[in-house]
Amino acid sequence: MQHDQTKIQECIQLAWQCRAMCQDTLFNYCLEKGGRHVAKAHVKVMTDCIEICQTAADFMTRHSDMHLSTCAACADVCEACAQSCGAMNDEEMKKCADICRRCAESCREMSKSPHSKAA
């Protein structure tokens, strides 16, 4: 059981880190850079990622029975955000894509864990 709790805590931390990175990158890099960094689809997926990461972390933190579903959705959105950020092909966006991929991997694992109970 302790192993599951550790994985859940790691997933919560990654979700918060991903949320913070996406929010910081969107508002303090993309909006200033302009051009394709502010394309409608890119801004939407980054905003979706910010929101779903917060939701997934909140669900796990408060022991929601629905956290497996939320983590599955979070993994999908983080993957999409990683692709969008990675397509920008610059160092700032690469950092964002990397944390999105790590969060997606953790959330995907969490969503498939039938024995996990929220921390």
Per-domain residue ranges for the chain?
2-111
pLDDT band at 118 (very low <50, low <70, confident <90, very high): very low
Question: If 0-12 CB within 10 Å is exposed, 13-18 middle and 19+ buried, where does residue 72 land?
Answer: middle
Q: Is the pLDDT of residue 117 over 60?
A: no
List, for residues 35-93, the tens digit of each pLDDT value: 999 999 999 999 999 999 999 999 999 989 899 999 999 999 999 999 999 999 899 99
Q: Could you tell me which CATH number the domain at 2-111 has?
A: 1.20.1270.360
The Cβ of residue 3 has, within 10 Å, a number of other Cβ atoms equal to 9
pLDDT band at 114 (very low <50, low <70, confident <90, very high): low
Instruction: Record the pTM.
Output: 0.90
